[in-house]
Amino acid sequence: MYTRFEPGYILDAHLIEELQGVKADGAFFATLDHDLDVFILRHGQSKGNASNTYQGRYDFPLTAQGEKEARQAGEWLSQFKPDYILASPMLRAKRSAEIVSLVIDLAHIEFDDILIEMDTGVFSGIDPSTAAQRYPDIWEDFYRRSWDAIPAAESSKSIYARSIIAWQHIRDIATRGASRIICITHGGLLQWLIRSTLGVHDWLPLLPITNCCISKYEIEIIKKGVITFAQWTLINLHPLESSCKIR
């Protein structure tokens, strides 16, 4: 089994509660003085994905297919001339970011522990069949409450708070001048990066989040500090499914 990635942060319980009332909507970005496009990318196929394993914090590397997916994503993203890459430091996201950066010719990557995958608790390192057999009662509750049913998994409150912190970091990067940011992360956190723009606090229903697919969040400054228009213009786009440029 691969080693666990241990983050360099501990979220304070008070901060977690405080951030439940925040959402990364248009008003959240109202202090910006320019429009912002954020391209959120899940890492390419990992060895854990290939074996249908719940990965969580286990640090699985990419497969050859995953590296190919990252190259394809980079080729598609290059049309937008991204000016910043922010990524999880876990191996599968880190390598995806490195490949994307080479393809789009953007040398610097910032790695941030806040973007790592959620802890999947007692399901970590096993496949769904094993999970169902080993923990039958928990497995049944999993269909009702998703990861909030799993012992030792990261709570939905914690992952919501992490998502808001990630959006705060993205906003800070934009404040320093970036306008086309690529964010490379993991399927679990990506669910909540989207949910936190809507103020949604429930896991279910799930959104489609596949390897190296791209979601795009656009922030348009209509009047600084007064009117900001935010919209998801892409969710889970596979680069090969689009042969044309998208705004």
Distance from the Cα of residue 46 to its chain's centroid: 15
Answer whether 0.85 is exceeded by the pTM. Answer: yes
pLDDT of residue 226: 82
pLDDT of residue 11: 95
**Torsion, CA 159, CA 165, CA 168, CA 173, rounded to 10:** -100
Q: Where are the alpha helices (DSSP H) in 156-231?
A: 156-175, 187-198
Cβ neighbors of 10 (< 8 A, separation 6 or more) are none
User: Coil, helix or strand for 57?
Assistant: coil
94-99: Cβ within 8 A, 24+ apart? 95/43, 95/44, 95/61, 95/62, 95/66, 95/67, 95/70, 96/41, 96/43, 96/44, 96/62, 96/66, 96/69, 96/70, 96/184, 96/212, 97/182, 97/184, 99/44, 99/67, 99/70, 99/71, 99/74
pLDDT of residue 223: 87
CA 228, 230, 236: angle at the middle one, nearest 5? Answer: 165
The one-digit pLDDT tens for each residue of the chain (247 residues) are 799 999 999 999 999 999 999 999 999 999 999 999 999 999 999 999 999 999 999 999 999 999 999 999 999 999 999 999 999 999 999 999 999 999 999 999 999 999 999 999 999 999 999 999 999 999 999 999 999 999 999 999 999 999 999 999 999 999 999 999 999 999 999 999 999 999 999 999 999 999 999 999 999 999 888 889 999 999 999 987 654 444 3
pLDDT of residue 241: 65
Structural domains in the chain, CATH included, are 22-119+154-241 (3.40.50.1240)
CA 51, 97, 89: angle at the middle one, nearest 5? Answer: 75
In the chain, the largest separation of any two C-alpha atoms, in whole Å, equals 56
